[in-house]
Amino acid sequence: MVKSPLLNKLFRTIHSTRGPFFGVVAVVAVGLSVFISMVAVSDNLLRSRESFYRQTDFADLFFHVVRAPEGVVEKIAAVNGVCGVSGRIQKDVSLFRPDGTRATLRLTGFRLPMENELNRILVQKGRLFENNPEGGVLEILLNPQFAKANGLRPGSTVSVAAEGKEKPMEVVGIAASPEFVYAVKDAASVFEDPSGFGVAMMSLKQAQQILDFRGSVNQILVRIVPGTDLNRLRKEIRTILEPYGNLADYPQKDQISEAILRGELEQLRVAATFLPSFFLGLATLMQAVFLGRLVKAARTQIGLMKALGYDNGRLMLLYGGYSLASSGIGGGVGIVAGYGLARVFTRLYATYFNLPRLEAAFNPRSAGLGLALTLALGCLAGLLGARFILEIRPAEAMRLPSPRRTVKLFLEEWPFVWERLDLASRMSLRSIFRNRFRSAVTFLGVLVSIGMLVVSLFTRDSVESLFDRHFNWELRYDLLARFASPVKSSELLNLERLPGVLRVEPLFELPVRLTFRGRHEETVVFGIVPGQSFFGISDHRNRPRGLPVSGLLLDWNSARKLGARPGDILEMETLLGKGPSRKDRLTVAGLCRKSVGRVSYLDLQTLNSILQETGLVTGAAIKTGWGQSLKTERAMTGMINVSSVISRQKEREYMERNLAYMNLSVAILVAFSSLLGLAIIFNASALAFSERRRDLASLRAMGFSRGEVAMFLLKENLLLLAAGTFAGLPFGRLLSEGYARAVSTDLFSFAAVVFPRTYLLATAGGAAFSALAFFLGLRSLKQLDVAEIVKARD
Amino acid sequence: MPSGEPLWKLEQVTKTYLMGQVLVTALQETSLEIAEGELMVILGPSGSGKTTLLNLIGGMDVPTEGKILYSGESLEKADEKRLTAYRRDVVGFVFQFSNLIPDLTALENVALGAALTQRPLSPEKVLEEVGMADRMGHFPAQLSGGEQQRVAIARALVKNPRLLLCDEPTGSLDCSTGKRILELLERANRIYGTTVVIVSHNAAIGRMAKRIARMSSGRITSFSENPSPVSPGEIEW
């Protein structure tokens, strides 16, 4: 069968311009693969989250109380709008590791049978605990991350300190819980090592026995009828729980694991819109520019075809087909690569988030949407690029073209500048301004790729600076010991006597509810001694500041949520969970900001007086001698009232080890940005070369060497490259600021820190693109048939 | 034979090209001598090998077989670097199409040629001599075909080359413009002593040269001497 001659011509044109054609294909493929992978990962996460939450009946509201009788569950179930209630116990205890160090275990009791309970668990390995009688074996299930980090498996035995007594427990299984998809202790410990914090799930009856909570619960989980006013219900239930010491209540979205997962989904959403729009937008412009040049170069052929009787529509279809083909191929490659990337990222997410059934799935919606988008952009590029066909008249096209028109530049009005320029620079400048659209696309492409290089590298800078700030400035202790309940500060003397300890500073971590003009915010206040040196405090602009003499140093995020400013008076309600809750009014003395977590500060003495106590502390920050912290940690083994010990060094090492995800995304982004830069330069060089073939051949005939002619060619791109690179650096900085703002959450505050190293690397990227442009020019010049070109008409 | 010692000598030069899958012999066992200061015209129909011969003399190409000597030095084995230097220092080209750089003005195009050599002529003066004094600041797009060709000649002459090779310099021009171009070439030969070789399919042009070579099917078929060359102004075609 004979193919249509136009189709044959299309294939041959693609073949003869395969370099720039595949340059565009690469940019389209990258844009679409980023889009597909981010949407697919986000869909995978969302889908497995939804299915997991549904399967386990994840609660809508969480209430923490000091101690409430189990009967309160029926009372709450009777409230209008409530469709499910569970009462349970949850408490942190210490687990002693064989090496003498300890970890925090969050004991959570579940009523059996579990079918009708909220926040049910899903056994992944082993079996469910049994309802053993009092005094029977204590059976627990662990979350997989903690079990793995501590080498525990079904059949292992652990030793736990509960209510001052050491209890052996048997691990019977590994389970996933919807509230520990990302297992973290609290908002201040998001960096904590999973080996240091785990979740132990056991029968409610046994938990009540060992925690001395018989007949009582300390947490109420509520499911609501869809469409119910959440705030009204929250208020109503809070009133019911009032007599039992209301400690905290929050909706599902503020539950820490869910908040972290949502933050991640938001980051993916930002990345899925932000990155592909650059790539696809630039690919469209590149296609339009290249197609325009193709049409102009084929002026005589198009004129001939018109003379033969081909109409504008068919010719537009022929050249439009060129950009549709590059979009189609790019789209296809993008979909396949996107799913490949999605698999890698989904697997990586599965190591952080314990979501059963988290797997990469093909998502026809995102593939269809992505392909439709690229094809639509391909059509647009086709129309833009092939519009010159309309201007070609057959009779004129057959005649010898007149030389390209050039106009004088504004710069030529200043002879003292213009006359200092060499001929190559004059040629380049005139050519840049003659081909404004093409120059603008090259400039824009370089600007975006340099900007993206800055953003890609910036994520590392930002995390490094966040780490540096958090671990070297905000936290200056080596160990943080927490007590099971508040103790007198004189007890700290016992810690000071431990081997390796250089200095101990007291700390009171007080959970509070702050109220201002009807708004509430639950947060943690650190009570410290003025002049204390183990906690670096900075104001909301990250400038160091000290603890105020009086008043509350309010966390910036909490202030924003409350709408409070320095000088405002807040109501503070203590939620310690032990002893009566106290209320007081405090003036906001200033604002502070922590790079990780949310913490407000108060003078320790003021905090004690609010609690109507003197000299109480809940923990101690400890500085040890060089290399002594493990020794000190082990020495604390026997101290039953110490509930947990956190090592700053271990936390840091853990976080640094776990930057695989970030390194991978940085590497992928750097590769993609470089690819964009290379494709832009490759296409710009190819265009400049094809347009200047005759000029270059005549320069070669005159006696200019290949290197000299390549320099002529480079100068034009070099000016655009230099301009694009220098504009790309501040653009990258702006993008970084936007990105930092978009991905900062209540828990992490990313600063737009760009290290000079990043600017240098991005500039080196620009230099590499220039070198590439030069070598591409040189390579093309080798293939230039000088004698043939100077002889022939265009 | 030229009266003086030949500066360029081609001995049994053959040039073959592979065009697609076909081997084409563009030039066959051709010998030619050109003396310094000579004005020579090579005539022949298209496809006779004129341009191939010109390209070989000008160092744009190397022969498949045979020898090309310039001032006793072999060009047939010269590398790309040596050929570039030869073109830069010795040769000036004028083509059928002016091949001017569109982004440079007339003066800048000529200055581009001047920038190549150690002892160039003054670009302004050469442009004046080709009658383009008042068009120096114009871009090629603002010049007529004849004016563009004059600038192209000025660009070749400004290097003060020993050899000016002109490939169908009047091919795209009307008769009267073509004659003015030929006058310029003849003047360059007379005033600067530049050796000029003109290649053309137009037999009338041969009347301006002392020596004429005729080509056909890749060979020089005859040489003829013209004892009384006429001024280009007197030639009609």
Query: For A208-217, what is each residue's pLDDT tens digit?
Result: 998 888 899 9
* B17 against A601, higher pLDDT: A601
Rounded to an integer, the average pLDDT of A752-781 is: 84
- pLDDT at residue A669, as a whole number: 82
Alpha helices in A298-363 (DSSP H): 299-308, 312-352
Q: In sequence order, which residues have a C-beta less than 8 Å from that of residue A610 and are 6 or more positions away?
A: A572, A574, A582, A584
**A748 in Cβ contact with A595 (< 8 Å):** yes
Q: Is B94 an 8 Å CB contact of chain A? A: no
pLDDT at residue A569 greater than cutoff 90: yes
Q: Cα separation of A263 and A747, whole Å?
A: 9
Q: How confident is the model at residue B9 (pLDDT cuts 50, 70, 90)?
A: very high
CA pair distance A260, A181, nearest whole angstrom: 9
Angle at A156 (CA atoms; ends A152, A157), nearest 5 degrees: 115
| Least confident stretch, A212-216, A604-608, A761-765, A789-793 | A789-793
Could you report the per-residue pLDDT of A226-269, keeping only the tens digit for each?
988 988 999 899 899 988 877 788 899 889 889 888 888 888 88
Q: How far is A402 from chain B (nearest CA, A)?
A: 6
Note the pLDDT of residue A567: 94
pLDDT of residue A403: 66
DSSP assignment, residue B10? E
Q: How far is CA A536 from the centre of its chain?
A: 26
Homologous superfamily (CATH) of B36-62+80-234 is P-loop containing nucleotide triphosphate hydrolases (3.40.50.300)
User: In this structure, how many other beta carbons lie within 10 angstroms of the beta carbon of residue B111?
Assistant: 22
- Greater confidence (A499 vs A133) lies with A499
Q: What is the mean pLDDT of residues A390-395?
A: 80
Query: DSSP assignment, residue A401?
Result: P
Taking only the tens place, the pLDDT of each residue in A319-352 is 889 999 999 999 999 999 998 888 888 888 887 7
Question: How many residues are given for chain A?
Answer: 794
CA angle A33/A38/A44 to nearest 5° reads 120
Q: Which residue in A has a C-alpha nearest to residue B89's C-alpha?
A: A703
**Segments making up each domain of chain A, as ranges:** 57-259, 421-464+657-794, 479-624
B95 chain-A contacts, CB cut-off 8 A? 698, 701, 790-791
Contact B93 A702 (CB under 8 A): yes
The region of weakest confidence among A402-411, A420-429, A501-510, B33-42 is: A402-411
Chain A, 186-215: which have a CB under 8 Å from a chain B CB? none
Min Cα separation B139/chain A (Å): 7
- Inter-chain touch B102–A786, beta carbons under 8 Å: no
Mean pLDDT of chain B: 89
Mutation for testing the B interface, residue in A438, A791, A794 having most B CBs under 10 Å: A791
For chain B, say whether A252 makes contact (Cβ under 8 Å): no
| Mean pLDDT confidence for A372-395 | 87
Residue A1 pLDDT: 45
Q: Give the model confidence (pLDDT) of A651-691 as tens digits.
A: 888 777 766 667 777 888 888 888 888 888 888 888 878 88
Is residue B23 scored above 60 in pLDDT? yes
Over pLDDT 90: what percentage of chain A?
A: 30
Interval A557-577 mean pLDDT = 90
Q: Which residue has the tokens 């824009």?
A: A444
Q: Annotate A526-569 with DSSP letters as a single string.
A: EEE-TT--SB--B-TTS-B----SSSEEEEHHHHHHHT--TT-E
| CA pair distance A450, A271, nearest whole angstrom | 17
Sheet of B22-35, strands arranged across: B22-35, B6-19, B65-70, B73-74
Higher-scoring residue by pLDDT: A731, A744: A731
Task: Write down the pLDDT at residue A533.
Answer: 79
Mean pLDDT of the region A17-34 = 88
Interface check for B101 against chain A (CB to CB < 8 A): the answer is yes
Record: contact A704-B61, CB cut-off 8 A: no
Are A695 and B101 an interchain contact pair (Cβ–Cβ within 8 Å)? yes
Average pLDDT over residues B97-122: 88
Domain boundaries, chain B: 36-62+80-234
Contacts of A428 in chain B (CB under 8 A): 103
Tokens of A464: 């490094």
Report CB contact under 8 Å: A403, B111: no
Nearest CA in chain B to A401: B141
Cα gap A353→A48, rounded to integer Å: 11
CB A220 within 8 A of CB A86: yes
* pLDDT classification of B33: cutoffs 50, 70, 90: very high
CA distance A714 to chain B (A): 15
Burial of A451 (0-12, 13-18, 19+ CB in 10 A): buried
The predicted structure's pLDDT at residue B186: 93
A69-102 pLDDT per residue, tens: 999 999 999 999 999 999 999 998 888 888 877 8
B160 touches chain A (CB under 8 A): no
B142–chain A nearest CA distance, Å: 8
CA distance A350 to chain B (A): 58
Going by DSSP bridges, is the β-strand pair B211-216/B39-43 parallel, antiparallel, or unpaired?
Answer: parallel
Indicate yes or no: CB of A697 within 8 angstroms of CB of B113.
no
SS3 content of chain B, % helix, strand, coil (to 5): 35, 30, 35
- Distance of alpha carbon A159 from alpha carbon A400, whole angstroms: 93
Q: What is the pLDDT of residue A82?
A: 93
Using a CB-CB distance cutoff of 8 angstroms, which residues of chain B are in contact with residue A698? 95, 99-101
Alpha carbons B91 and B162: distance in angstroms, whole number: 6
Q: Is A698 on the interface with B (CB under 8 A)?
A: yes
Which stretch of A160-174, A197-211, A627-641 has the lowest confidence by average pLDDT? A627-641
Q: Report whether the peptide linkage leading into residue A113 is cis, meaning its omega lies within 30 degrees of zero.
A: yes
Q: Which residues of B touch A792 (CB under 8 A)?
A: 97
Average pLDDT over every residue of A752-775: 86
Mean pLDDT of A593-615: 89
The residue of chain B nearest to residue A698, with distances taken between CA atoms, is B99
B127-157: per-residue pLDDT in tens? 998 889 999 999 988 999 889 988 999 999 8
Chain-chain contact of A702 with B55 (C-beta, under 8 angstroms): no
Residue A503 reports pLDDT greater than 70 = yes
Contact A701 B93 (CB under 8 A): yes
pLDDT at A2 (0 to 100) = 45
In chain A, which residue's Cα lies nearest the Cα of B90? A703
Q: Is the CB of residue A462 less than 8 Å from the CB of residue A542? A: no
The residues facing A112 across adjacent strands are none
Mean pLDDT across the stretch B79-100? 88
Phi, psi of A418, rounded to the nearest 5 degrees: -60, -40
**Contact flag A402-B93 (C-beta cutoff 8 Å):** no
Query: What residues form DSSP beta bridges with A516?
Result: A519
* Helical axes A423-434 vs B106-114, angle rounded to 10°: 140
The pLDDT of residue A746? 65
